[in-house]
Amino acid sequence: MTNQDFSKKFIFNEKIDSEYLFSMYADDYAYMEEIFATTLEHYDEDVEALKAAFEAGNLQDLKRAAHKMKPTFGFVGLTSIQEQVKKFEDLCQNVQDTDYLKDDFKQIVTTLAECKDLIASEYQKLKAFNANPV
């Protein structure tokens, strides 16, 4: 978490904006591991809140759940997903009913599931890296 030169030994998945992560955490890989772990710990709960709101047809809660989850992706370097969730949040703002969001919701849920796998995989890689740094 400094601006000094630091090691970028860890190679992130190409979908992750590693430069963005380094701008936040520098080469504090142990802390990155913590961030990924915390994200995973709360991930299902946040996705469930999103699903529950959609199933209940509660547009306000759906928007709120998307809003809450949105920055999560930034913290793990998935900036494009953060943008995608923002678009979904904006859609919630612009429709009158969750019925209008069926396709978008389906898409976002699929994306979120893929992201969870990716975050979990990067977490395992970070954990292994921190256990045996090069």
Partner 1 sequence: MSWSAVIVEDLQVAADYLAKCCEKSGQVEVKAHFTNVAEALDYLNKNSVDILFLDVEMPGANGFELLDQLAYYPKVFLTTSKQEYAYDAFEYNVTDFLKKPFTYQRFIDALNKLTTAGGDNNISSTASDHIFIKSDGKLVRLNNDDVLFIESMGDYVKFVTADKKYITHNTIKNLEEKVNRNHFIKVHRSYIINITKIDDIRENDLFIKGHEIPVSKSHKAEVLKRLNII
Q: Does 130 bind partner 1 (CB under 8 A)?
A: no
Q: Does 44 bind partner 1 (CB under 8 A)?
A: no
Residues 47-86 close enough to bind partner 1 by CB under 8 A: 64, 67-68, 70-72, 74-75, 82, 86
CA distance 38 to 15: 20
To partner 1, the closest distance from the beta carbon of 115 in angstroms equals: 14
Q: 59, 46, 99, 108: which is closest to 81 by C-alpha? A: 108
CA distance 95 to 21: 34
To partner 1, the closest distance from the beta carbon of 64 in angstroms equals: 6
- DSSP 8-state class, residue 77: T
Q: Does 15 bind partner 1 (CB under 8 A)?
A: no
Cβ-based nearer residue to partner 1, 24 or 109: 24
Euclidean distance between the first and the last CA atom of the chain, given in angstroms as a whole number: 20
Look up residue 83 and give its two tokens: 């943008």
The residues binding partner 1 (CB under 8 A) are: 1-3, 23-26, 31, 34-35, 38-39, 41-42, 64, 67-68, 70-72, 74-75, 82, 86
